[in-house]
Amino acid sequence: MIGFLIKKTLYDLWDNMFKIVVLNLGFIAVSAVPVFVPAAVVELTNSIAAGIAVTAAGIIGCSLYLASAAYTIKEISDYKTFSFADFIKNFKAAWPAGLVMSVFIFCLYIVITIILPFYLGIESLFGLFLAAIIFWLTFFAVLSFQFYFTIYSRIGSKVFKSLKKCMIISLDNSGFSFFLFLHNLVVMIISIVFVFMFPGPVGVLLYLDEALRLRLLKYDWLEANPEENRRKIPWDVLLIEEREKTGTRSFKNFIFPWKD
């Protein structure tokens, strides 16, 4: 299943490279606000509070942008296409997910910069024990929340329902969730070479959506076959139609499709 997931995502990224790059450029422009503007605001106003407010506004803007992008690129996973007008239209449905993600990022920032250092600074076994618990709870939250945009856009547009689904899917597919986390970390590192224009954060969103979409086939099969062993999912059978739709390509056709 993972091999097919990587293959399909690679094909979809390649076939929609221009649109992915444009969406990433939009995110880069939006993310410039929390990265570069706060320092200038603090220097001009001599107010740290103003800089923090600009940073918070920038984080919210980035989260809203990625939420709308997640809604938009799911069309690619479904073998369809989208226009940039769809991105604007999807903002209306996506903004609650963006706000929730911005709150999560803020909480994550507090945990990393304040809470963990505080307990580590106690310099006792008790402090180390609490720090370890907080670290692993935070790590699990990160593994779960990586699905949030895709679950919100694909399963149902309800905040708390999506949060619950994130935790359930992450717990039920812990190894898969960890693999996705590592994969996306590597993709973002590779994206540095292309200044985050490709695959970039939008490419990561596409990969997560492809992963969730294929993983949901497992739950459809389990619902139809409740007596079967849930640890032995017949992926070869479940992916027959998907493989037919995706097809195969030679290296020549992949790089120079117009020559075949």
For residue 50, give Cα distances in angstroms to 57, 78, 192.
11, 43, 30
DSSP state of 259: G
* Nearest Cα to Cα of residue 34 among 53, 49, 48: 53
256 Cα distance to chain centroid: 30
**pLDDT tens, position by position, 71-89:** 999 999 999 999 989 999 9
Number of domains in the chain: 1
Using pLDDT thresholds of 50, 70 and 90, give the confidence band for residue 25: very high
Question: Residue 259 pLDDT more than 60?
Answer: no
Q: Which domain holds residue 15?
A: 2-259
Q: Tell me the whole-structure pTM to 2 decimals.
A: 0.93
Residue 24 has pLDDT above 60, yes or no: yes
- 101-136 pLDDT, tens digit each: 999 999 998 999 999 999 999 888 999 999 999 999
CB atoms within 10 A of CB 84: 12
CA dist 1 and 44 (Å) reads 54
Does position 252 have pLDDT exceeding 80, yes or no? no
Tokens 């939250």, located at residue? 141
Q: Is the pLDDT of residue 258 over 70?
A: no
Conformational region of residue 81, where left means phi above 0, alpha means psi within -120 to 50, and beta covers everything else: beta
Looking at per-residue pLDDT, the higher value among 202 and 253 belongs to 202
What does the pLDDT look like over 200-245, one tens digit per residue? 999 999 999 999 999 999 999 999 998 988 889 999 999 999 999 9
